[in-house]
């Protein structure tokens, strides 16, 4: 323990009285007041009391800050996990979107194929019907013409009719074939 | 009362808590707080073997996981006890209570394990009562929780 000189003691007491400045810190723990100096003993007690009070306050504040820091760190961990989860969800959404787009494209493609197939089937049907009609009319007129010739009947009207009808039928059949070729060409080009 | 005490802990806020708690409980007159085991290692290396200026602390508290250091608290204790001549009361102060780590610390010569918490004062007060036993190497290893 350390005993201060009379001069130091007086100066310390004077400073405390006039300027309210007290010795503080662990240095206080090694200062000792003489047994016959109650004034300095009281002074040292006051210094220790003030020092302890200040330390206690600081300790409480530090603990509060420590507690807040701990909570912030915990909140940061939670935030980080939430951000990670959000990123995962975003990735899942992106993947789902890409999959939906692929399915949509495939569906569009299927629809297009279906439309084309239907279109071709329709054309095919028209062509068949048209050809059967052409062949039927042609055949019927020819048979009628042959019958008229073989029966020595008047063939003037049927001859003209057969000739006209055949010309019309040939023209129409070429027109149908031409239309089909045109549609096919246009379809292929649009693809 | 312990004259010189060293705390090795990466958490600077805990330095303040520890210093104030030790001062209020009259545990130590002087506390040197370091935030890395590398820094402590340099100091102990310098003081070994003779420590002419008597700077070596009487008691050392080491954190278990010292972030930013080359080695942890257990390795620090091993170095002090086995490479730098021992000569001080030494133990761990950590928020961990992992039995395996406690056993490791005991094996390298730690004398105590104080569990860090918001209410550190009662543990330090209990440690203060046992300190003489540690200084005389008579007290057994103890966990303060």
Could you give the CA distance from residue A64 to residue B17 in angstroms, rounded to a whole number?
A: 10
Q: Which CATH number characterizes residue B77's domain?
A: 3.40.50.2300
| Number of domains present in the structure of chain B | 1
Residues forming a β-bridge with B2: B28
Give chain A positions within 8 Å (CB) of B23. Answer: 26, 51, 55
CA A41/CA B37 separation, integer angstroms? 42
Helix, strand, or coil here: B33? strand
> Which whole number is the average pLDDT over A52-68?
92
Measured distance CA(B60)–CA(B5) in Å, rounded: 6
Cβ atoms < 10 Å from Cβ of A53: 11
Three-class SS of B51-72: CCCCCCCCEEEECCCCCCCCCC
Tell me if chain B has a CB within 8 Å of the CB of A104.
no
The residue with tokens 């021992």 is B86
Rounded to a whole number of angstroms, the distance from the CA of B24 to the nearest CA of chain A is 6
pLDDT digits (tens, 9 = 90+) for B7-65: 999 999 999 999 999 999 999 999 999 999 999 999 999 998 888 888 899 999 999 99
Rounded to whole angstroms, how far apart are CA atoms A183 and A163?
Answer: 30
- What's the gap between Cα A87 and its chain centre? 10
Position A187 scores a pLDDT of 67
pLDDT the model gives residue A190? 60
Domain coverage including residue B131 = 2-144
State the count of interchain CB pairs (< 8 A) between A and B. 35
Distance from CA of A22 to the nearest CA of B (A): 17
pLDDT digit string, tens, across residues B82-134: 999 888 999 999 999 999 999 999 999 999 999 998 889 999 999 999 999 99
- Do A55 and B118 lie within an 8 Å CB cutoff? no
pLDDT of residue A121: 85
Lowest mean pLDDT across A7-11, A137-141, B127-131: A137-141
Q: Predicted confidence band at A191 (pLDDT cuts at 50, 70, 90)? A: low
Does residue A69 have a pLDDT over 70? yes
Closest chain A residue to the Cα of B25, Cα to Cα: A52
For chain A, the first-to-last Cα distance in angstroms comes to 103
């Amino acid at each position: 323990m350390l005993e201060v000189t009379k001069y130091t003691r007086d100066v310390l007491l004077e400073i405390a009285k006039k300027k309210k400045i007290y010795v503080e810190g662990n240095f206080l723990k090694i200062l000792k007041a003489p047994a016959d100096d109650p004034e300095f003993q009281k002074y040292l007690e006051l210094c220790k009391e003030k020092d302890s009070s200040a330390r206690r306050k600081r300790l409480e504040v530090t603990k509060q800050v420590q507690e807040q820091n701990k909570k912030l760190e915990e909140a940061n961990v939670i935030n980080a996990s939430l951000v990670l989860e959000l990123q995962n969800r975003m990735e899942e959404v992106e993947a789902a979107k890409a999959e939906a787009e692929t399915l949509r494209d495939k569906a569009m493609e299927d629809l297009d194929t279906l439309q084309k197939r239907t279109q071709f089937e329709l054309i095919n049907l028209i062509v068949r019907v048209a050809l059967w009609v052409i062949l039927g009319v042609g055949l019927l007129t020819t048979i009628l013409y042959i019958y008229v010739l073989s029966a020595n009947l008047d063939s003037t009207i049927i001859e003209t009719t057969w000739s006209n009808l055949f010309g019309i039928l040939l023209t129409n059949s070429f027109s149908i074939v031409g239309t089909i070729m045109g549609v096919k060409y246009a379809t292929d080009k649009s693809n | 009362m312990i004259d010189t005490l060293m705390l090795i802990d990466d958490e600077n806020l805990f330095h303040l808590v520890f210093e104030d708690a030790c001062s209020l409980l009259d545990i130590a007159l002087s506390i040197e707080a370091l935030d890395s085991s590398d820094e402590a290692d340099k100091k102990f290396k310098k003081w070994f073997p003779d420590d002419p200026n008597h700077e070596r602390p009487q008691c050392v508290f080491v954190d278990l996981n010292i972030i930013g250091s080359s080695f942890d608290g257990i390795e620090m204790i091993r170095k002090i006890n086995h490479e730098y001549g021992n000569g001080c009361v030494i133990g761990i102060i950590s928020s961990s209570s992992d039995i395996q780590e406690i056993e490791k610390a005991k094996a390298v010569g730690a004398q105590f394990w104080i569990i860090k918490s918001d209410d550190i004062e009662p543990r330090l007060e209990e440690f203060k009562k046992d300190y003489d036993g540690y200084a005389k190497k008579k007290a057994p290893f103890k966990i303060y929780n």
